[in-house]
Amino acid sequence: MQRFAATYSRPSLQWDDLKFLRQHTKLPVLLKGVLHPDDAKKAVELGIDGLVVSNHGGRQIDGEIGSLDALPAVAGAVKSKIPVLFDSGVRGGTDVFKALALGATAVCLGRPYVYGLAIAGQRGIEEVIGNVLAEFDLTLGLAGCTIVREVTKDSLVKLQAPTKG
Ligand SMILES: Cc1cc2nc3c(=O)[nH]c(=O)nc-3n(C[C@H](O)[C@H](O)[C@H](O)COP(=O)(O)O)c2cc1C
């Protein structure tokens, strides 16, 4: 555990380190792992170019908030000032549709493309991406949308949790 913590984490990292990055590169800086709207606002203030709403594929804290559950509040806080990318759990076209409807500018695939790579190399990755795109295209059409811009939160219905008793 100590070896893992020493290799993967740097608890000393602060928001000021983002200022350092911003000052030392003209490349776009995207902040990944944002799940709280306050962090999103702070990132915008610091001149970050984009966010990735992500719980890193659910691989960090057991029981943490799902990325999709965090997305609407983060997107709301950003108010379209910078792109909001989304990942963790995107497996098919309907997942893409839901993420876009809840405020994502774009989505990223994590493990699915690696599975494709393991099975069939580059062709496997192309298959995975092609299938996700085709399924998204189909979902778009079946939901009555002709272009991505028409996918909004009104495209989804929030079901009430069943009440006890
Ligand atoms: C084996 C593995 C290692 C990962 N390592 C990192 C990492 O070092 N840093 C990071 O930000 N995300 C890491 N991730 C998370 C991915 O960047 C990405 O957020 C995640 O895989 C997306 O979720 P999905 O796999 O459900 O699509 C890792 C994911 C996997 C599966």
DSSP codes, 44-66: HHTT-SEEEE--GGGTSSTTPPP
Residue 56 Cα, ligand 1 centroid: separation in angstroms?
A: 5
| Closest ligand 1 atom, residue 33 Cα | 11
CA of 161 to the centre of ligand 1 (A): 30
Asked if residue 55 has its Cβ within 6 Å of ligand 1, the reply is: no
Q: What does residue 127 show for φ and ψ, rounded to 5 degrees?
A: -60, -45
Residue 42's identity, in one-letter code, is K
For 35-83, the pLDDT digits (tens) are 999 999 999 999 999 999 999 999 888 999 999 999 999 999 999 999 9
pTM: 0.93
